[in-house]
Structure 1
């Protein structure tokens, strides 16, 4: 991964930690003022964000390390491990928030909310900070292909809706005395968190289990190889993903009468074409002698 990509990933990780820390402080104060469970749900989510962002930043540092004697393919799997850890933390958080909201919703003595206006101000500020972070993370993820930055971006993007829901809950309690809306919003936020966590976890698990690249990517690589000049055929195309990297192994069939220099030039040019299409790809091409037509082997 280019150094510039490393710096962009690190900037996204530092921004994530900084925003999460500020949001924890703001929502902790808002919870003390309002006693709103929807704010508590948002606070728990932000506290979780802070822990996960710290782990993600450490993973980004580790994944950026170049290959060494013990890790000849690099350290990019650290991104998948961190993303899997994210999903597990988010699932636990969703379960706790959902259960607390359910109990409060069924309670005979619902908790009265207070100072809803201050809570609304804090949640509005949270939305602004989160939106700014998401925009930067999405730009970084598009540029570098980092899975952990993408996962963090999706999580923060999902936070926007619970934050908006918390504002609506506080407004409904202040305007109409509908404190039950607070619990309903918190339960909805818990469901959204769980769905997002399962998606993040599946992607990380697939990468850790060496799942092949998407069918679209495989088909595109096959198209490039099949149409490459002087390549008579190809076989045994294998792909896998690790963090933001794509690993490609491919056998191509070449004229056995040409020189090794010519064969190497064909292979190298094909490799450059695949890397141009997928800049974070690690490509290994094996050169095989093409079998002559059956009538020429007689």
Structure 2
């Protein structure tokens, strides 16, 4: 995939982002009503997850909208670090939500008469609608991702695929309460959902922190870049390979060793070809190559 393909259909990418925000907004509204009607903690867990989805989808839409915006005089490397700052806020939101849900679930398990699930049918209907809307969104995002290769859309799609689990869990809990008189299932499902949310918070927070601290790219990416450089014609060696991530961007800085007797035009051609090869393998990269004479 090359950079042209990545940005070939900006409007198509925007439709995926707008659809994601729209679906998340509808789900938050529906689940707020369902929570008020049922009082089910599993619905509360699903509501918290949908609220997180809305935040992530909004950030993703902003990232898509500003993807083609060039760096300005005050931000020479672009504005992608804003994604990492937003991710830290999202991680905090998930952590607080998961703790609140877990405490409420444990309290209800200890005091089974404290809080009863009501209007299970309405809750089940809302959750079924949620599953249907989520599946429709995932299908559309998959279509857009295949057409454009946009990584923001791909990541958002994977997130919504994971959201189907707590939605289905809430349906199971409501059915267990309605048909079998087992309201405890609601608390168990809520605990599991809280654990999933907390795990996601740790993952998102760690990734955002690493990016803000200019941590190097993952070892696989570094090895991949080194393999491209090592096999490139005219390059006799390389050193000082430095990488860092910022949001969805990958910054690469390296020195290559070239024959010092060749012309500047020849040296430039080798470096330009190498840069294109790295960008083809890593379309989100920003690559700077320094040319040093072979000693």
The higher radius of gyration belongs to: 1
Alpha-carbon distance in structure 1 between the residues aligned to 2:58 and 2:235:
48
CA–CA distance in structure 1, aligned partners of residues 32 and 50 of structure 2: 10
Match of 1:209 in 2: 213
Q: Deviations over 1:41-89 (max 9, x none)?
A: 2223323433454455445545553211111111122222222221111
Task: Quickly say closer, same or farther: Cα 1:202–1:284, change in 2 above 3 A.
Answer: same
Partner of 2:204: 200
**1:106-155 superposed Cα distances (whole Å, 9 cap, x missing partner):** 11524332332222121111112123334444666672223xx5664454
Match of 1:85 in 2: 89
Which SS does the other structure have where 1:283 is aligned?
strand
Question: Match of 1:119?
Answer: 123
Partner residue of 2:190?
A: 186
Deviations 1:143-192 (A, max 9, x none): 2223xx56644543332211111111111111111111111111111111
Ranges in structure 1 where 5+ consecutive residues have no aligned partner? 292-298
Compute the TM-score of the two structures, normalised by the length of structure 1.
0.87
Q: Closer, same or farther in 2 for the Cα pair 1:64/1:272, shift >3 Å? A: closer
Q: Which has the higher contact order (CA 8 A, sep 6+)?
A: 2
Which structure 2 residue ranges, 5 or more long, are not aligned? none
Answer with 101-110 or 46-55: which moved more: 46-55
The answer for the alignment partner of 1:295 in structure 2 is none
- Select which of 151, 166, 176 maps to 1:145: 151
Question: How large is the Cα RMSD of the aligned pairs?
Answer: 2.3
Shift of 1:28: 2.5
Task: For 2:56 and 2:145, locate their aligned partners in 1 and report how far apart those are by CA, in whole Å.
Answer: 17
The 10-residue stretch of structure 1 (58-67 or 249-258) with the greater mean CA deviation from structure 2? 58-67
Task: Check conservation: 1:24, 1:43, Cα contact below 8 A.
Answer: yes
CA drift at 1:29: 2.6
Match of 1:232 among 233, 236, 245: 236
Count of residue pairs the alignment pairs up:
289
